[in-house]
Amino acid sequence: MAEIRTKRLQLRPLRAGDAERIFVAFNNWEVVRRLAAPPWPHTIEDTRAFVARRIAFRSEPTDALHVIELSNALIGGIDCTPRWQQRPDAAPVLGYWLAEPFWGQGYMTEAARAFVEELFRWGVGDRIRSGAFADNLASLRVQEKLGFIRVGESSLFCNPRGAEFLHVNTVLTRDRFLAGPP
């Protein structure tokens, strides 16, 4: 996918030179603890390796992790699980994060709505999965605003917190998204 513009934001594909800016925005316990995979403590080397890995395996337009910018400041990231990580029978998974100073201002809902619209336009399938740890009410609210519905709960290991936690699993169908906000 190419660059996506919304009223306030720019979403653009990840670039090799983004690692330092991502690290500054991302290296915050309140952000990282809400995600399943990142190591904690998180280092600049972790970020550089992540960026290099994502760029190296980008094979299709929908594989691109996008950074979220507000007035040229990098404030978050959003992506769809790359096809090379997906099981053949599974829907792609939407993931995202936002730097703490930008929480509660509608940025993630705005970014995710535009990103999901592009994913469906590019033909990722008829549904997208997502979810969040049960204690991440803000993330679950973003998904609800986009039309995701809860389809179950599971126990998921949270690497930063070093334990399993309750995870709410959600799904969004193309038809539900195109029908507009619930």
The sign of the CA dihedral 99, 102, 103, 105 is negative
Q: What is the pLDDT of residue 36?
A: 94
| pLDDT attached to residue 63 | 62
Topology adopted by domain 4-178: Aminopeptidase (3.40.630)
Strand-pairing partners, residue 172, are: 128
Q: How confident is the model at residue 88 (pLDDT cuts 50, 70, 90)?
A: low
Q: Coil, strand, or helix at residue 173?
A: strand
Judge whether residue 170 has pLDDT over 80: yes
Q: Is the pLDDT of residue 5 over 70?
A: yes
Mean pLDDT of 8-37: 96
pLDDT band (50, 70, 90) for residue 91: confident
Residue 80 pLDDT > 80: yes
Please give the structure tokens belonging to residue 85.
């990580």
Neighbours of 101 (CB within 10 A): 11
Angstrom distance (rounded) from CA 135 to CA 71: 30
- Peptide bond connecting 88 to the previous residue in cis, omega within 30 degrees of 0: no
Q: What is the pLDDT of residues 102-139, one digit of tens each?
A: 999 999 999 999 999 999 998 888 999 999 999 999 99
User: Is residue 84 scored above 60 in pLDDT?
Assistant: no
- Is residue 1 predicted with pLDDT exceeding 90? no
| pTM of the shown model | 0.92
44 pLDDT band, cuts 50/70/90, is very high
Q: Which residues contact 167 (CB under 8 A, 6 or more apart)?
A: 36, 131, 132, 133, 134, 153, 154, 155, 156
